[in-house]
Copies of this chain bind each other. A is one copy, B any other.
Amino acid sequence: MEKFWFILLSLVLSYASSEASQCSIKGLPLVRNISELPQDNYGRAGLSHITVAGSVSHGMKEVEVWLQTFSPGSRTPIHRHSGEEVFVVLKGSGTLYLASSSHEKYPGKPQEYFIFSNSTFVIPVNDVHQVWNSNENEDLQMLAIISRPPIKVYVTSLPPSFCTSIFAVTMLFRTLLLYSYLWIETFAPPTLLNMLSRFIYNDWSMPHTAAKLKFPYFWDEQCLQEHVKDEL
């Protein structure tokens, strides 16, 4: 009977520590096997997301790299963000929808581009876009590379816990933030806004002002909450 509790306790502990390692690279080797990194759909049907190098989990300050696999028919949200994004298609094919930024009040009818294995494309900053796996027979696998906004210039001279504090404050005021977007756009320093701004659209005719602020990203949410708890 004691042995049973011991095994149960070990299981719980190992689960807890494997959970923790999803949000930190502590204890992981410098050279990591991508197929052994945590992958999840983060609540999005048909998605497999792996953070190859990320700000929350790996402490990246300037760039993030994701490996994403979309099953047939699945897709990203319609969205825009303030960082540069480069895609490298590793497997499969699909469709990129891209609404070039203009002075319209909403994205409008996007252009369609065929994307294919070994192709690459760059999403211009703040252009509204969506990627679909429109190939019924195959998964679409891509590396997505996004730049972190230039907040680092201000952060480098501050203590490392500053970033976590920003996250903490942001988590606490997230609802407030959603509704104070216009205020932020008008008064906040542009670098702070950059860090926050990933906006999601329901469709291509949704006004830019109605797009929903999505912060943190789906895959960072849980880890950020853990980091904030550790810090408080």
A residues near B (Cβ < 8 Å) are: 29-35, 37, 52-53, 58, 60-63, 65, 83-84, 86, 88, 96, 98, 113-116, 118-122, 143, 145-148, 150, 152-153, 191
Contact = CB atoms under 8 A, between A and B. Distances in A.
A189 B110 CA distance: 42
A82 to B, nearest CB: 10
B88 A52 contact: yes
Given A58-B122, A119-B33, A150-B150, A63 B84 contact: yes
In this complex, the member of A115, A118, A119, A120 whose beta carbon has the largest number of chain B beta carbons within 10 angstroms is A120
A65 B86 contact: yes
Contact of A88 (B34, B86, B153): B34
Contacts of A33: 116, 118-119
Contacts of A83: 62
26 contacts: A29-B113, A30-B96, A30-B113, A30-B121, A31-B113, A31-B115, A31-B120, A32-B120, A33-B116, A33-B118, A34-B88, A34-B118, A34-B119, A37-B120, A52-B86, A52-B88, A53-B86, A60-B84, A61-B147, A62-B147, A63-B63, A63-B86, A65-B86, A65-B145, A150-B150, A150-B152
Contact of A120 (B52, B63, B84, B152): B52
Given A31-B116, A35-B118, A60-B122, 16 more contacts: A30-B98, A30-B122, A31-B96, A32-B121, A33-B118, A34-B88, A34-B120, A52-B86, A62-B147, A62-B148, A63-B63, A63-B84, A63-B146, A145-B145, A147-B148, A150-B152
Nearest to A64: B86
What is the count of identical protomers in the complex?
2
| Interface of A, helix, strand, loop or mixed by DSSP | strand
A192 to B, nearest CB: 12
Nearest to A149: B62
A84 B62 contact: yes
Contacts of A34: 88, 118-120
Contacts of A147: 61-63, 147-148
A191 B65 CA distance: 24
Contacts of A32: 119-121
